[in-house]
Each structure stands twice: as C-alpha cells, then as structure tokens.
Chains A and B, each alone.
Chain A
Amino acid sequence: MNLEAEGLRKRYGDVRALDGFDLAVPPGVIHGLLGPNGAGKTTAVKALATLVDVDGGTARVAGFDVRNEAAKVRKRIGLIGQNAAVDEILGGRQNLVMFGRLYGLSKGDARAKADGLLDMFGLTDAAERAVSTYSGGMRRRLDIAAGFILTPAVLFLDEPTTGLDPRARNEVWAAVREVAAAGTTVLLTTQYLDEADQLAARISVMNHGRVVADDTPAALKRQIGGDRVTVTIAADQPLESVAEQLAAAVGLPAVPDTEAHSLTFEVGAGVTGLATVVRALDDLEITPEDLVLRRPTLDEVFLTLTAAPQEAAR
C-alpha cells in the first residue's frame, strides 16, 4: 500500500473533523475521496501530507509514518490544496523554477524541469506571464505541475476542479491522468460524483470524518441505483393522488417532494426510463410543468449509503 491510514482522529474544538478515518490505496492508482462540504476531506489530506497533527490513529505515506518520519514523507509527496498555491505575482516558469530549487534541484536542473512541465501541462505559451493573468484552469494546471516536480510517489489533490468551468475541468482531468500515467498514486478529493467516476479506480465515500463506503465507481453506482427522472407537477394538481396514479402506471415507486411539488423515479438505464415516464404521463393526460432526467446527486448518494447500514440493522 502506498497510502495507509488507520483510525485517524482529529478534533477542532467540538468538531470531530476526523473520527476513525481509514484508507488503503495501492501504488499507481487514482483514488477518489468523495464527500460533502465539512465531511473531513481536507483534514484527511492535510493529516496525510503532514500538515496537521492528528490526535490519534496511524498513517503511512509512501512507506513512512506521517508523525515520526514527516521529513521523509514530504520528500515523496506533492500537495495541491483548494486554493491554487502558486505565486500569483511571478510568472509560470518563475514559479516552477523556484519550487524546483526548493525541492533541491540545481538552477540548471530546475530550469530544464520547468520547461518539461510547462510543455506537459500545456502552459509553454503563458510561461512568462504573471500567474494573476491566468485562467482558473491554467492556474490549477500550474499548481499540479508544481506538485509534480519530483514525480512524487503520492500526489494529493484537494478539490482540484471546484469553481472551474467545464472546459477547464476537462483540462485538469487530463493533467491528473498524465500524473497517474507516470506512476504516481493520486488521492483526489471531490464533491462531484461524476468527477470521481471519471478519474478514480476506487472511491471512498466520506461523511462526518469517516469513510462510509469504499468501492469501485461501478459497484457504488449499482448500490445507489440508476438515473433519476423528476416530474414537476402543476401547482393546482394534488401531489398525492398524482403520485399514486403515476407510480402505478410507471411501475416504480415515486418519491414525492412537497416543497418542489415534484415526483422522482429511480429509473435505472436513463433514456428508456424517461420514455416510460413520458408514456405514463401521456396515458394519464397529465401535463407536467417540468421533466428532467439526471444522475443521482451527491445528497442522494449519501442518503443511500448512510441509510443502508441502518436498514440492514433493522
């Protein structure tokens, strides 16, 4: 295992940011750490990257203990935090050369490395410009490049695409794949299920400071069911009776949302499910206000995953 954590605990006052956090990631894979805001993802990353002291538990990164061998761990990791931690005033090349020298490279080696990384992450044209003029995606790619100077054994990426537009997101995803292809283990935290799905070989779902599920994306998706169709009903129609009629016609249970005045069906394979719902609406001569086919949201993932053990216990 390249990343190993057992029972990590960390408190901030009354808040248990980590409450028995476990993790095991083999070398050379992208592992997703998925969870809502405040689940403890960032604290987990900071603990593994030796930036915060934990109150309990053990963790080994690249074979070294994060508490007793922090210096050895630091030589083998790269960390990309939520804010692009690059120097905004300096240019892209200046940043990479500076970080290269701080990693112990000579001036010449640091320059050569910087050129290679600028090329690898598509930043050569912007190399001399101040980073403050970069787009969000470019800044993030520079950030990843800086974390990749020594080709670290483990690279931590904390919500690398938060706040980026879809195009920049794709650029960052390509960069992450480049990193993993070079043999580096990547721990990626994200709030987006589809991001973890796109990139990660395995996903740990985190809530309240601990891992509530750990599986491949495919298996997790099986657990949380298929796509959702949400039908918004006109305000003058009674939600309950429409729900009954529609559930019978579709052949699936309808989950009502009284606030949005809508019904949600878990339809499995998307488009055929959508067709079934549309036919049922037609047959019943109901004109919906809105009709949406969508992937499960993270909220639904957590509801499903955190509800499952309770149901099993019943």
Chain B
Amino acid sequence: MTAVRAGWILTQRNLAHWARQPWAPIFGLMFSIMLLLVFGFLFGGAITVPGGGDYITFLLPGMLALSMMFGVETTATAMANDARKGITDRFRSLPIGSASVALGRVGADLANSAVELLVLIGGGLLIGWRITSDPASAAFAVLLLLLFRFSMLWIGIFVGLAFRGEGSTMAVQVLVWPIGFLSTAIVSAETMPDWLGAIAAWNPLSATATAARSLFGNPTGITEGPLADSSVWLAVGWPLLLTAVFLPLSARAYRRLRSG
C-alpha cells in the first residue's frame, strides 16, 4: 500500500475523531474567537498602529497567523497520545509506509486549520475587518497561512514523538504564548523597545502575519526593515526552512521508536 493511500485512511481516522468528539475543535475555535474579541475590543482601544490604520483590520491577519501557530499544540498532543496509548506501535506493525502516520496527521490538521481560517475570516468580516486587495492576493495570503501551519505541523509531530510524556504537551502549551506574543501578530514590533522589536521582527510568525496583512490590503504596522520590504518572501522562506529542519527530525524520532 502506498504511504499516500494509508495517509488518507489515517486522515479520515483523525477527522472521524472530531466527528465523534466535536468539542475539541469547537473549543479550539471558540478560543481563537475569544482572543480576537479580547484583543479587538478590550485591549484594542489602547493600541495604535504605527503608520496609521484601524486596529481591528491590523489585528485580524495577526490572529489568523497566531491561530496557525497555536495548532502546534493540537498536533503534538495528538501524536503524543497515540504514541502513549500504543496505537502508534500497532500502526508501525502494519504493512504501511512509515510516512503514513505523519501524512494522516498533516491531512487532518490542515483540514482543521482551513476550517478555523474560514470561521475567523467570517468572524472578522462581521466585526468590521475588510479585504481591500484583489481575490488572488487574498487567496495567496490564505495559502501562506496554511504553509505556516504546515511547518508548525512538523514541529508538533517531532515534539509529540520525541517527548511523549504528558509534560511535553504542557511545555508546548506554555511556550506558544511568549513565542506567539513576541511577534507582530498582535502589536507592531515598532512599538516595542528596539532590542525586543528586533527579536519580534525575526519571529517566523511575524513574517506570515505581515505578509498576510499586506496581501489582504490591511495596515502592516511596519514602516521600515526587512519585514516592510520582503514579508512575502520571508513568509515563504521561514516555513520552508522550519520544515527542512523538523521534517527530518520527525522522521528520525519515528524511526527511533524502533530502538526504544
């Protein structure tokens, strides 16, 4: 059996989980919507966007990127659970390619994230966010967001397989916050102290958030530096680089299950 066919069967399995237990993805969605509302209305009044522009229109693409990053949790937790419960061992004893298990995760999590993007975009339109560019650019922005999610998938698969204990999931849940906030997803890097802003500008999340803003035709909050000039290139390059690092690490972690 080809790894792709087995991957498709395992994608269906992971999607069937959500059909049986819809609360997990629904809570995930509600959480993203809550964050959007908290920042949009609770904190948003106090935040100004460098270079001008409405905060909600600035915020929404950032929230889209942030929710793609938070997806790393879903992936890592699911991988670790399967490995702990012995079902990964059973998959490994089947005559299917070793890439299948990861492909099943990729398929299901990308589908979940695509739905999440659609819901957040719909929610954004309801609270006054607008796409002011052309449909092709907007579609490209969505693709870049999914590419970013794709790179997060491999980090999640690696973490879930390599550190299977309950603690690893906790560590991911805690770490996504500082990494998520130390970016331009919610506030512009230009409002931060210089050194902090420099770190935030180099966060891969910032590249995707800024690229999505400029492609949707929203204010970017960035007036100078590499992010202002070439955010789209960075939003392509960062995920590819992360994938190039973490895909082989994931494969190695999967093979290592064999010596343990």
Residues of A within 8 A of B (CB): 49-53, 71, 74-75, 77-79, 81-91, 94, 98-99, 101-104, 130, 146
Contacts and interface: CB of A to CB of B under 8 A. Distances in A.
Contacts of A87: 13, 17, 87
B87 A74 contact: no
A82 B91 CA distance: 15
B44 to A, nearest CB: 38
A79 B20 contact: no
B257 to A, nearest CB: 8
Which 6 A/B pairs are nearest by Cβ-Cβ distance? A83-B86, A85-B90, A85-B86, A79-B93, A75-B95, A74-B95
29 contacts: A49-B93, A51-B93, A51-B257, A52-B259, A52-B260, A53-B258, A71-B95, A74-B93, A74-B94, A75-B95, A77-B93, A79-B89, A79-B90, A81-B86, A84-B86, A85-B87, A86-B90, A87-B13, A87-B87, A89-B16, A89-B17, A90-B17, A90-B20, A98-B9, A98-B12, A101-B9, A102-B94, A104-B1, A130-B20
B96 interface: yes
Given A52-B259, A90-B16, A102 B87 contact: no
A44 to B, nearest CB: 15
Interface string B86-118: 110111111110000000000000000000000
Given A85-B85, A88-B85, A103 B90 contact: no
A102 B89 contact: no
B211 interface: no
A87 B260 CA distance: 22
B90 A146 contact: yes
Given A51-B93, A98-B13, 10 more contacts: A51-B257, A52-B259, A52-B260, A79-B93, A83-B85, A85-B85, A99-B94, A102-B96, A103-B95, A104-B95
Nearest to B259: A53
B86 A82 contact: yes
A267 B250 CA distance: 59
A248 B88 CA distance: 60
Contacts of B93: 49-51, 74, 77-79
Interface size class of B (residues with CB under 8 A): 20 to 34
A102 B21 contact: no
B258 to A, nearest CB: 6
Contacts of A94: 16
Interface of B: 1, 6, 9-10, 12-13, 16-17, 20-21, 85-87, 89-96, 257-260
Contact of B21 (A49, A85, A89): A89
Nearest to B9: A101
Contacts of A77: 93
Contacts of B20: 89-91, 130
Nearest to A50: B93
A71 B92 CA distance: 11
A134 to B, nearest CB: 14
A275 B12 CA distance: 64
A22 to B, nearest CB: 22
Contacts of A101: 9
Nearest to A80: B90
Contact of A52 (B12, B13, B16, B258): B258
Contacts of A146: 90
A230 to B, nearest CB: 38
A218 B137 CA distance: 78
Contacts of B257: 51
A238 to B, nearest CB: 52
Contacts of A75: 95
B91 A102 contact: yes
A86 B258 contact: no
A83 to B, nearest CB: 4
A85 B89 contact: yes
B97 to A, nearest CB: 10
A87 to B, nearest CB: 6
B6 A102 contact: yes
A86 B9 contact: no
Nearest to B93: A79
Given A52-B258, A53-B259, A90-B16, A103 B86 contact: no
A249 B100 CA distance: 70
Contacts of B12: 98
Contacts of A86: 87, 90
Nearest to B8: A101
Contacts of B92: 51
A77 B9 CA distance: 21
Contact of B9 (A84, A85, A102): A102
Nearest to A82: B86
Contacts of A99: 90, 94
A148 to B, nearest CB: 13
A14 B16 CA distance: 43
B155 to A, nearest CB: 24
Nearest to B18: A89
A53 B87 CA distance: 19
A130 to B, nearest CB: 6
A243 B257 CA distance: 54
